[in-house]
Structure 1
Amino acid sequence: MGSKTMTKRMTTYLFLNISLMNRLFPSNNYSYAAIYLVAQDTMEWHYLISDQEELVDKVLAFFTSKSTNSELFQDIVAKCKNNPLSSPGNSNHEASLTLGYLSVNDFLFYESSFTNQKGIPVSIVEIILKKLCQELILFEQQLLGFGHNMPYSLNEELTQFLYSRGLLKNVIFGFSYIVQNYQNSVFKIVVTTDSGDPSLGTGFLFNCQTVEGKKWSIIITNEHVAKYHNELAVHHKEGQIETWKEIILSENSDLAAIILNSFVNLPSFHLFSDPKILDDIVTVGYPPIPTANDRYQLVHKGEINCFLTNYWNHNYFLFSARTSPGNSGGPVINSMGMVVGIVTQQLFEPGSFEEKGQLPYFAAVPSTKILEFLNEQVFSKLK
């Protein structure tokens, strides 16, 4: 058994047994510290914080307040400048606070000012902060303090980018959280082909608003899925049908936009136009499953492998997550929960698997092309 697998199983074992101990001995905080040591090596953050969303919300609100909530930030500075635990006797503490340099002790002191405050597992707070540093949202300022007095500074530009799109918790909780949040925003596209055969693809929700303030919902999918628009129905994951107003097919890419008749109040995907090689991704779609009694939503995890241009000067990227024909039109989602591309096709030579054992490559149209399509052909139709 590999050391990584053993460590992962050890993490799970510790987590399960320590969770039991916590129920028996709720005042024992050493259990958090024990599992924290293992988690630092495996980076299995979700095992530790999956049931700590309230604490994550508090940590995020506190340490990002300089960029996200000026009223809260002013309150933090006003209260924490008198914190006796943060660099006692340091006359520069208030100046550091004003610059947004906040420590674990500041967080604990601030939270202690509220009545009926439950005890806070400090090691879990440290794990959350470590994850925020790993994602470059926070930076440790080790020269300005140590231990719980070490302040953290904020990457304000990235924080604003994520906060304005509601993505901060995505980078903390990871893909399981992202898929759970957006699963109902990935739709089945049911069509009848020219030959009369039923077929099914995937589409994802993109909400927008005109300068006049009118809100629109668009389902983005493939041109090769939506071209049979005379017999096309948009189904929610659970089966409800959305009626559509217009279907716009791209003039130069395998893209289509289905403009819905009514606004769909579900989490909308955002487009990210700068993915990198080896970025982690997931795909979500509705491929056929042998013997299954319906089309079920499948999620596959992989990474971006290559950017390429084909003979016809079309740009794609290749990814390793497994897909099947029903995935066409499905989103390729990065670790922030943003769409970096749309599943379009499998690239293979006829007979390559039978003769050479060569598996197909899975291709996606990048989000830059989706943005071009929306700007050039779609947004002008929203009136």
Structure 2
Amino acid sequence: MRLIPLLPALLIGLAAGAALGQGKPGPAPAFPPLPTQKPPALAAAPVPAAPGKPGAPAPTPPGGSGRTLSTGTGFVVAPGRALTNHHVIEGCLAVRYRNAAGTEGAARVVTSDREVDLALLELPAEAGPPLPFRREANLRRGEGVLTYGFPLAGLLSSGPTLTTGEISALAGLGDNQRQFQISAPVQPGNSGGPLLDMSGNVVGVIVSKLNAQRIAQRTGDIPQNVNFAVKHTEALAFLRANRVEPRLVDRAQPRAADEVGETVHPSVLFLRCMG
């Protein structure tokens, strides 16, 4: 049984819409869905691009109606630069950010890559301190991880949410080698947020979750805590291709989740896609 054509319909992107967390439509799927199915937001099934090459620069145009189309998360990776998902900023007439201090401002899309689903933003240098990336390329199954972001904005807490879990698998849906499977709970709005090890170092970028309803329809069983993140090695390659050198650190002694959350809090951004 060939599974690949079914994969896009089994994923849900995590950019939250303005109305009760409904995601805006994601990029076109890499493989067609079943003829009788209408695919949901497909954040993790982007349109194919040239392997290893970032997409063409997509500067954010000014203007827009001032209406929030969807929301997501980003995080500072270098002075004046932040990372998020491509599907968070796709189709936006403008992108707005709010940092931990409550300061709001405009972010400019420098470039994005649909295939890996990452986007680079330009924003004021004082928006927040850059988060370090873990130098070690390989993570292990069962290793503890933490997410920090803004799920279901307008429905849940207006502040950031922290969740914990483990690396479940070293590849994503359909053996996607660019992603990790994680058990840490995520919701629409977590898209583009950092996946952190228990030392507070970036090891991935939250991107999508399994569509539990579709899986239940196919198997009769409801999957639990099957979520995905772009690997930090992919994020580093994307940033370096765009002349951004994040700080790399070695794996350190694990800390309590609350300590990690307090450390990364100033660096995580609430993003709004404006139409």
Q: Among residues 150, 159, 168, which one is paired with 1:286 in the alignment?
A: 150
Say how many residue pairs are matched: 178
Residue of structure 1 aligned with 2:160, choices 284, 297, 313: 297
Aligned to 1:301, the other structure's residue is in SS state: strand
Deviation at 1:280, TM superposition (A): 1.1
The answer to whether 1:327 aligns with 2:198 is no
Deviation at 1:202, TM superposition (A): 0.4
Tell me if the contact between 2:151 and 2:188 (Cα under 8 Å) persists in the aligned partners: yes
Q: What residue number does 1:308 align with?
A: 171
Report deviation, 1:313.
5.0
CA distance in structure 2 between the partners assigned to 1:357 and 1:311 by the alignment? 18
Query: Partner residue of 1:357?
Result: 222
> Is the contact made by 2:77 and 2:130 (CA closer than 8 Å) also made in structure 1?
yes
Matched, 1:264 2:126: yes
* Residue 320 of structure 1: how far off its partner (Å): 1.1
Deviations 1:182-209 (A, max 9, x none): xxxxxxxxxx999x762110001111xx
Flag the structure with more relative contact order, 1 or 2, with Cα contacts below 8 A and sequence separation at least 6: 2
Given that 2:185 and 2:225 are in contact with CA atoms closer than 8 Å, whether structure 1 keeps it comes out as: no
Cα distance in structure 1, aligned partners of 2:114 and 2:153:
32
**CA distance in 1 between partners of 2:234 and 2:159 (Å):** 28
Q: Aligned-pair distance for 1:284?
A: 0.3
Percent identity of equivalent pairs: 24
Q: CA distance change for structure 1 residues 359 and 193 in 2, over 3 Å: closer, same or farther?
A: farther
Structure 2 CA distance for aligned equivalents of residues 319 and 360 of structure 1: 7
Aligned match for 1:274, one of 138, 142, 147: 138
Select 1:317's aligned residue among 150, 164, 180.
180
Q: Go from structure 1 to structure 2 and tell me whether the alpha carbon gap of 1:290 and 1:205 turns closer, same or farther (over 3 Å shift).
A: closer
Structure 2 contact 95–108 (Cα < 8 Å) conserved = no
Q: Contact 1:193 / 1:228 at 8 angstroms: preserved in 2?
A: no
Show the 5 A alignment for 1:68-87. none
Moved more, 223-232 or 309-318: 309-318
Q: In the aligned structure 1, how far is the partner of 2:97 from the partner of 2:127?
A: 15
Residues 282/376 of structure 1: CA separation in 2 closer, same or farther (3 Å cut): same
Q: Describe the SS at the equivalent of 1:282.
A: strand
Equivalent residue number for residue 235 of structure 2: 370
Q: Against the structure 1 CA distance between its residues 350 and 342, is the aligned structure 2 distance closer, same or farther, given a 3 Å change threshold?
A: same
SS at 2:239's partner residue? helix
Q: Tell me the CA shift for residue 347 of structure 1.
A: 2.2
Distance 1:289 1:252, change over 3 A: closer
Q: In structure 1, what residue type is equivalent to 2:144?
A: D
TM-score (norm 2): 0.57
Contact 2:107/2:122, CA 8 A, preserved across alignment: yes
Query: Pairwise mapping of residues 1-383 of structure 1 onto structure 2 (< 5 A)?
Result: 198-207=69-78, 216-260=79-123, 262-264=124-126, 266-272=128-134, 273-288=137-152, 292=156, 295-308=158-171, 310-311=173-174, 315-348=178-211, 350-353=213-216, 355-359=220-224, 361-379=226-244
Secondary structure, aligned partner of 1:219: strand
List runs of 5+ in structure 1 lacking aligned partners.
1-191, 208-215
Corresponding residue SS for 2:233: helix
Higher normalized helix content (fraction of residues): 1
